[in-house]
Amino acid sequence: MAVTTPQIILAAAAAALIMAIAAVSLGGTGTGSPAESWRDAAMTDVMTGGPVTIGGIAASEGPVLLVVYATWCPGCRAQLGEIHAVQAAGTAEFTVVVYSPDPREDPSLMQRRLLDAGVEGYAVIAPPEVTASLVQEIGTAAFETYPSLLSVGRNGDVHIISTGPEPAAVIAQAFGG
C-alpha cells in the first residue's frame, strides 16, 4: 500500500508531538524555557497577524469552539461549512479558534480556507509544546481524528465535543443553541 502525503505529514506531526510531550514531561519545552500552558501561550492569529491566547479569547469573548484542523483534511474543510452555518443562523454563542497542531502548516492556505468557508474567528498554528500542554490535559483522542471539536469555557475548562466531523445542529447544541 502506498503512503500518501497526508499520512506522511500526520506521521511527522505525531513524531513532533511525542517529542514535545517528552520534553514537557521532563519539565520544559526542550528549549530551556519552562513549559507554558496551552491557555496562556501567545500564538499568532493567521487571520490578522496579531498575538492571541486561547485563554484570553475565552475570557474576553466567551466560550470558544476550538477546532483541531489541518488544511490537507477534506473533513476539516467540510466542518468549516457546518461551523459557518451555525454562525450564520446565530443559534449559538461561541468564538471560533481553528487550531493546527502542525507547526509546518501553511498560514496563508489556512487563512484562505477560513475565508472561503465564511468562518469568522481566529486561526492559530500551535508550536509542539503548546499542543503537548493540551494533550497532557485532555489526552490524545482529539489529535487522532481530524477535525476534532473542543469547547473552552470562560474559565478555561476544556471538553471534547467530538473527534470527527459534526453537523451544525450538534455544534449549536454543544453551545446551548
Confidence band, pLDDT 50/70/90 cuts, at residue 159: very high
* Contact (CB, 8 A) for 119 and 98: yes
Query: Between 14 and 177, where is the model more confident?
Result: 177
Whether 67 has a pLDDT exceeding 90, the answer reads: yes
Q: What is the mean pLDDT of residues 118-125?
A: 98
Rounded to an integer, the average pLDDT of 28-55 is 80
What's the grid cell of residue 158?
A: 476544556
Assign 6 a pLDDT band (cuts: 50, 70, 90): low
The label of the residue with cell 471534547 reads 160
Q: Round the CA-based radius of gyration of the chain to a whole number and report it.
A: 15
At residue 22, does pLDDT exceed 70? no
The predicted pLDDT at position 177 comes to 78
Question: Rounded mean pLDDT of 103-122?
Answer: 97
End-to-end CA distance of the chain: 44
Domain 5-174 sits in CATH at 3.40.30.10
**Any idea how long the chain is?**
177
- Mean of pLDDT over the chain: 86
Residue 81 and residue 159 in contact, taking contact as beta carbons nearer than 8 Å: no
Q: What is the pTM of this model?
A: 0.82
- Tell me whether strands 148-152 and 158-163 are parallel, antiparallel or unpaired: antiparallel
Structural domain boundaries in the chain: 5-174
Are 49 and 123 in contact by the 8 Å Cβ rule? The answer is no
